[in-house]
């Protein structure tokens, strides 16, 4: 029985340092697949997978279009390309920027949630602005798990704070404690009735109609602020 083994991770300023701490805490062997989008300039040298390889037990590479993702592996969005999920494969596109970024976090979270529902775990790390907040809300809507880096542990707390404001988050942790949690979730079986109930709920909802075969962003998902009362 599948666990919550598809992990999508997003961040911006300060997120690489947080991601290193996260990956250092992931035990091996591990059944989780980690897909990563971190905002960065398109012309910076592509060293992120090499850096991640040195700091944890999981192999890290840039994702390539059409490859089948595997457990125990970290796939990083290539510079200036969106990383999407289509079935058990990864897609790399140069679709329009979303939230001002390419790669953007929302397309990764959105397609993973749509394709894999409760298997999906969304993680928001250090960053500015709010890319990824709508995607994390959609992960929750599809029965997945939402994790946010503890704001006082983040170099830049705006992105985690926005996620906490707008999404019913399951776990708020320092980056170093997220890795062990991901390992536990990957081995947490999803009950068949969870899948069935979720399919019924989503069948009644037409607004989430993003086509993962398209480069176009989905515009129908709107984050509604939580009531403070």
Position 221 in a domain:
no
Position 210 in a domain:
no
Position 191 in a domain:
no
Position 11 in a domain:
yes
Q: ∠28-143-228 over CA atoms, to 5°?
A: 110
Higher per-residue confidence, 147 vs 212: 147
Residue 25: is its pLDDT beyond 90? yes
Domain at 86, CATH number: 3.40.50.180
Coil, strand, or helix at residue 77?
coil
Residue 227: is its pLDDT beyond 50? no
Distances (CA, A) of 23 to 20, 54, 100: 5, 10, 27
Q: Domain containing 149: what range?
A: 6-175
Distances (CA, A) of 141 to 53, 116, 221: 32, 12, 10
In sequence order, what E strands does the chain have?
A: 6-11, 33-38, 59-62, 73-76, 82-86, 89-93, 120-124, 145-149, 171-173
Position 190 in a domain:
no
Single pTM value for the model? 0.85
Position 208 in a domain:
no
Closest CA to 21 of 151, 180, 160: 180
Catalytic residues: 12, 39, 131
Closest CA to 86 of 63, 64, 116: 116
In this prediction, residue 30 has a pLDDT band, given cuts at 50, 70 and 90, of: confident
Write out pLDDT tens, residues 64-75.
999 999 999 999
Mean pLDDT over 20-32 rounds to 92
Q: How many independent structural domains does the chain possess? A: 1
Position 124 in a domain:
yes
Write out pLDDT tens, residues 159-208.
999 999 999 999 999 999 999 999 999 998 887 765 555 554 555 444 45
Position 137 in a domain:
yes
């Amino acid at each position: 029985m599948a666990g919550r083994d598809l992990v999508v991770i997003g961040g911006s300023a300060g997120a690489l340092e947080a991601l290193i701490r996260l990956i250092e805490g992931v035990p091996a062997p591990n059944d989780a697949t980690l897909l990563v989008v971190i905002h960065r300039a398109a012309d910076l040298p592509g060293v992120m997978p090499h850096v991640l390889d040195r700091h944890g037990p999981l192999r890290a590479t840039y994702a390539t279009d059409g490859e089948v993702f595997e457990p125990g592996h970290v796939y990083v969005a290539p510079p200036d390309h969106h990383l999407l999920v289509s079935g058990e494969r990864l897609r790399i596109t140069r679709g329009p920027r979303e939230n001002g970024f390419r790669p953007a976090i929302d397309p990764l979270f959105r397609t993973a949630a749509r394709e894999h529902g409760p298997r999906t775990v969304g993680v928001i790390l250090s960053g500015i602005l709010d890319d990824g907040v709508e995607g994390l809300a959609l992960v929750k809507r599809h029965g997945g798990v939402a994790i946010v880096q503890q704001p006082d542990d983040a170099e830049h707390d705006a992105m985690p704070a926005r996620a906490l404001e707008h999404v019913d988050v399951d776990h708020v942790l320092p980056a170093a404690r997220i890795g062990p949690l991901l390992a536990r979730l990957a081995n947490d079986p999803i009950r068949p009735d969870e899948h069935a109930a979720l399919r019924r709920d989503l069948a009644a909802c037409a607004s989430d109609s993003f086509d993962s075969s398209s480069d176009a962003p989905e515009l129908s998902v709107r984050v509604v602020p939580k009531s403070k009362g």
